[in-house]
Amino acid sequence: MISFIAAVSGFASGVFLRSIFIFKWEPMVFAVLLAMLFGAAAFLKPRQVYSLGAVFCFLLAFGMLRAVLADTPLPQTFASQLRHRVSYEGIVVADPDVRDATQRVQIRVNSPADEDVSTIVLAVAKLYPIVTVGDRVSVTGTLFKPEPFASEGGRTFQYDKYLQRDGVRFIFNFATIRVLESPAALASLEIRILTGLARVKHAFLGGLSATLPEPYASLAGGIVIGGKSGLGTGLKDAFVRSGLVQIIVLSGYNVMVVAEWVMAALAYFNVSRRRSAVAGALALIFFVGVAGTSATAIRAALMALIALYARATGRTYAASRALLFVVFLMLVWNPLYLVFDPGFGLSVAATAGLIWLEPVIEIILTEGARRRRFFRVMPSAASPPGEAKRSEKSSSSSGFWLQAIATTLAAQIAVLPILLYDTGNLSLVAIPANLLTMPIVPVAMALSALAGFAGILFGSLAPLLGIVLAFPAYLANWYLIFIARGSAALPFAAFTLPLFPFWLVLVAYAILIYFVASNRFSTTPQLMLAKKASI
């Protein structure tokens, strides 16, 4: 496990350094020489230290090399037309990002000079005409290269790299889009699959619109498959200020809930391990394809697929190893995720917090509650039956809330340094708001999914029946909006801090790692027994 941590951390460090600093081959050669030096000294004591140093430095060089290979220049045939008004034909390759007044459409276009050269452009256009994945369109406008820009608090957002992680290299501002063919007849198999998945998504969103009013329909869509369109600026700001923004975007939590539903359903119907693994994998892939293949969703789906594989083969599933393996795999595939995709970093940090930090916090809270008698311990066998049942019920309820508090604290603490560095947003009501909404979100997801299917089945034939079936989803989403607006409206609910330097991020995570490591190895078996006896 320690060797695996050294390898993944070395590779990620190499990717990080090459993403921040522009250099050529010299640091990579130096890292390889260090790896060889550590390897040659591996026969000395302490051997493990030198071996780990060799692994770390070798993977450090590999990470730098991978980041160099990802830093490709702009296609020259398109770069020569920068700041010129041009017109291209192409295929819409992603579901449009619909905002209040514009839509952002990713279009794969071919160069008029050389049809074998293609690239993806981002067209920022009016809301009409409506375009969907697979449409063949004509886009006209002035071609620009995306540039970094300064955000609030003096932060610099690397917008060019942020788009490049999805393959987007150019942008059309104030573009004009004209649909030529919907869908394109000669589209590739990949585009046809994406088109079918997009149709399923929009059919589901249409079902929600048929059974729920706004903004509850938009929130239901965001809870199940992600997306913030239709919520309005005020409501989106309320979710951000209250620390509940993960509810309305496609996060790893959505995928995790779906994975748990799938595994629970397969276990309930007593499906064989191999068949359940195949069915669960197909369900997860389909869900991520419909909801959108963001880095956070892919990370959660890969971890869930590893869990299904472990269940099918009877092997032990270690979430820590799965997280490290998935992070390594995704950075090999696309190293731009690490630095230029804020969602990926937050997702990995939150998951790491749940794996390593949450058990330590839960044990500390349990021991503190036991010492202060915040709840009763389990009754002895000599206790009267009625008292034993009441005590057991009280202990179970207290244990649930202790675990909920530990989970919320772990996730919020783990993401806070990255959140402050990226946005500067500090929500003082995030922990209580998450505690109030965390038990409801899976229920709201299930009820919202029911509302969407009710709209699809009964929206036109029996609209009243669809509305009745969707009423529980309305109540659940009303509650989430009530908590978001109420907590965001509190005095001093959130602040925007000035520039949070990156060295403070490193210090914060160094402290967290030391805290987790020291508590993990110093926790006594008696404390674990106290936790079991108290819950």
Domain ranges of the chain: 2-70, 76-187, 341-378+390-428+501-535
From 73-77, 283-287, 308-312, the region with the lowest mean pLDDT? 308-312
Written as six digits, the tokens of 449 are: 């999914």
Mean pLDDT of 98-103: 84
From 38-42, 126-130, 144-148, 224-228, the region with the lowest mean pLDDT? 224-228
Whether residue 280 contacts residue 262, with contact meaning beta carbons closer than 8 Å, is answered with: yes
pLDDT for res 531? 41
Asked if the model's pLDDT at residue 421 lies above 50, the reply is: yes
Asked if the model's pLDDT at residue 391 lies above 60, the reply is: no
pLDDT digits (tens, 9 = 90+) for 422-475: 888 888 898 899 889 988 888 999 999 999 999 998 877 788 898 999 999 999
Of all residues in the chain, what percent are helix, strand and coil, respectively (each to 5)? Answer: 65, 10, 25
- Arithmetic mean of pLDDT over the chain: 83
pTM, to two decimals: 0.84
Asked if the model's pLDDT at residue 286 lies above 80, the reply is: yes
pLDDT for res 153? 61
Q: Give the CA dihedral 355, 360, 365, 367, nearest 10 degrees.
A: 140
Asked if the model's pLDDT at residue 91 lies above 90, the reply is: yes
Where does 250-382 have alpha helices with state H?
252-268, 273-291, 295-313, 319-333, 336-340, 342-352, 358-372
Residues in the chain: 535
pLDDT for res 172? 92
Element holding 170 (H helix, E strand): strand 168-181
Written as six digits, the tokens of 25 are: 């081959």
Three-state DSSP state, 120:
strand
Asked if the model's pLDDT at residue 226 lies above 90, the reply is: no
Mean pLDDT of 346-372: 82
pLDDT for res 369? 65
Write the CATH number of the domain with boundaries 76-187.
2.40.50.140
pLDDT for res 76? 87
Mean pLDDT of 228-245: 82
pLDDT digits (tens, 9 = 90+) for 162-213: 999 989 999 998 899 999 988 877 778 888 888 888 899 989 999 999 999 9
DSSP state of 361: H
pLDDT for res 379? 44
Whether residue 59 contacts residue 10, with contact meaning beta carbons closer than 8 Å, is answered with: yes
Q: How far apart are CA 182 and CA 134, in angstroms?
A: 7
Q: Give the CA dihedral 89, 91, 96, 99, nearest 10 degrees.
A: 0
φ/ψ (deg, to 5) at 279: -65, -45
Whole-angstrom CA distances from 411 to 9, 326, 353, 430 are 21, 19, 5, 11
Percent share of the chain, pLDDT over 70? 89
Mean pLDDT of 489-505: 85
Percent share of the chain, pLDDT over 90? 30
